[in-house]
Structure 1
């Protein structure tokens, strides 16, 4: 069931209901926001058919940023969409055209075997099919404007997409992570993502504030699906994110310079998220919450370490 022509597509990355992309249908034309990995391709083609479209009716692939769980499949997808163009942040566009550095960076984090298993062989995007989206760029999606705003904090090559029709943002990773199995009586449980290598606390808070200025009624997250149906709900989630970004910053400073900094960060982040999950009455045991968040805790610890080690900090 789609609202405002927005279809959530589960890319199947890592597990079910972990990684989403979105197909926005407007009067017989389609635009994807993010696209998952090479392995996601069959699901995206299925989503196109399910929406009553053909691959030739997809005009846009808007890539919020170039982390591989969001954009790793862009080049391969384009080979199946004869009329589509890719909309990329100015810092992202060169890496879509030549993905060598992105692959090297991801390999440094995950290792070669994991890259092959999770992402496949990342394909380049032909330069003539890339549109660079400077801050404030508007994509005309068959008469439906999609506004791209520069939103650093998670990554410096990140934009978010404002869809006035639905009064919602497509947030990539800027508005954090919220998995549906963690939903509790108080609504969604949310946490920031600081995954390597460009986490910056102050820009992230500024990016969230910038999105709030539009009084959004909901946020479409990559991880996972829509959160919020009113501005009040979105604002509460933003406050949750602000509190945790501040807490993560403090935990990072406390751990910095200690023996086994990484271990200490893992321990501190786990304790932070478990306490917040209990306070939110998340309907899972501590062990189950840890299982759901294990990969994100590891990546957040690594991302905090990158921030701590950055000279200009």
Structure 2
């Protein structure tokens, strides 16, 4: 199915309670990436913008619910990786009263996305970037705001609090929502695809996408999350999870394993291929220990892109340590 046809489809949305809807943007496949719509009093906010291919689904949800676009107060990508923020400029064009809320380290890249486009094109090629992300439009500087760490912005009769959460990327913040007692975590609470849910609960794994994997900072971020005593986490990949302390420990364990395997493979000649194999073996063992019964080939297919990016990110981390 082409991206054009996908974009014309209504938004598959799931009500999570607390005025929060999870919208599957059908990026690459179902249940892979989502955005969230928050409805609080007269105010609306989108958390994450996804890619421009998914923007029609976000707008379709507003239309289906009879929600005026003028009521959207904020568009909030957790960080500027293109699967989270690539559609921000296109979405903002359709929301006349919205402010774009973005980490101070990432704001310039959405005001002038030229470097983001060039960087992605250098890796994937210009045609592939267009196919994956669609139009990556600039956002007028006057419509961009970067909250300070700990700052609260009003939404309806409550607030959203912004917390600096490095580890996956330095331009990453998370959003604390006191109403749901939950964080919108972008990628800093890892990946948790619903296909791997078992009687033991959700499965979670780190994501070490290039270029700013920082394990010590990530551990500090996990400590900071837990200091809020959250009851749930809203992940971009994918949807909400509970039992937060146990999942945080699983992430700590995974980060430690990734550090160890990368360090052990730092000097081998075929480093990337070896990292990729080690990561694949690690996740297959982890999902089996979690009780997942999917065939190995299906696990590999579901995680193929993530394992490739994780291997790339660990390679960059090794190079930066050596520099």
Q: TM-score with structure 2 length normalisation?
A: 0.93
Aligned to 1:153: 167
Deviation (angstroms), 1:312: 7.2
Deviation (angstroms), 1:108: 2.6
In structure 1, how many angstroms separate the alpha carbons of the residues matched to 2:181 and 2:319?
38
Is 1:293–2:300 an aligned residue pair?
no
1:312/1:97 CA distance change after superposition, 3 Å: farther
In structure 2, how many angstroms separate the alpha carbons of the residues matched to 1:182 and 1:81?
36
Q: Give the conservation status (yes or no) of the 8 Å contact 2:90–2:135.
A: no
Is 1:239–2:239 an aligned residue pair?
no
Aligned to 1:192: 206
Output one character per residue of 1:178-228: Cα deviation in whole Å (capped at 9) or x when no partner: 110111110101100001111111111111111111111110000000011
Aligned to 1:310: 320
Q: Give the conservation status (yes or no) of the 8 Å contact 1:185–1:282.
A: no
Moved more, 273-282 or 100-109: 100-109
Is 1:250–2:260 an aligned residue pair?
yes
Q: Which ranges in structure 2 are unaligned for 5 or more consecutive residues?
A: 1-14
Deviation (angstroms), 1:49: 2.4
Moved more, 47-56 or 129-138: 47-56
Q: Give the conservation status (yes or no) of the 8 Å contact 2:166–2:173.
A: yes
Deviation (angstroms), 1:311: 4.5
Aligned to 1:60: 74
Moved more, 271-280 or 132-141: 132-141
In structure 2, how many angstroms separate the alpha carbons of the residues matched to 1:219 and 1:272?
24
Pick one of 267, 284, 303 that aligns with 2:277. Answer: 267
In structure 1, how many angstroms separate the alpha carbons of the residues matched to 2:115 and 2:53?
21
Aligned to 2:216: 202
Aligned to 1:213: 227
User: 1:1-313 to 2 correspondence within 5 Å?
Assistant: 1-228=15-242, 233-311=243-321
* CA-based RMSD: 1.2
Moved more, 101-110 or 33-42: 101-110
Q: Which ranges in structure 1 are unaligned for 5 or more consecutive residues?
A: none
Q: Give the conservation status (yes or no) of the 8 Å contact 2:41–2:157.
A: no
Output one character per residue of 1:5-52: Cα deviation in whole Å (capped at 9) or x when no partner: 000011121111101110000013200111101111110001222343
Aligned residue for 1:171, secondary structure, equals strand
Aligned residue for 1:196, secondary structure, equals coil
In structure 1, how many angstroms separate the alpha carbons of the residues matched to 2:102 and 2:73?
14
Output one character per residue of 1:39-80: Cα deviation in whole Å (capped at 9) or x when no partner: 111100012223431111101011110001000000010110
Q: Give the conservation status (yes or no) of the 8 Å contact 1:220–1:226.
A: yes
Q: Give the conservation status (yes or no) of the 8 Å contact 1:154–1:198.
A: yes
Aligned residue for 1:310, secondary structure, equals helix
The alignment of Structure 1 onto Structure 2 pairs a total of residues equal to 309
1:152/1:312 CA distance change after superposition, 3 Å: farther
In structure 1, how many angstroms separate the alpha carbons of the residues matched to 2:292 and 2:272?
27
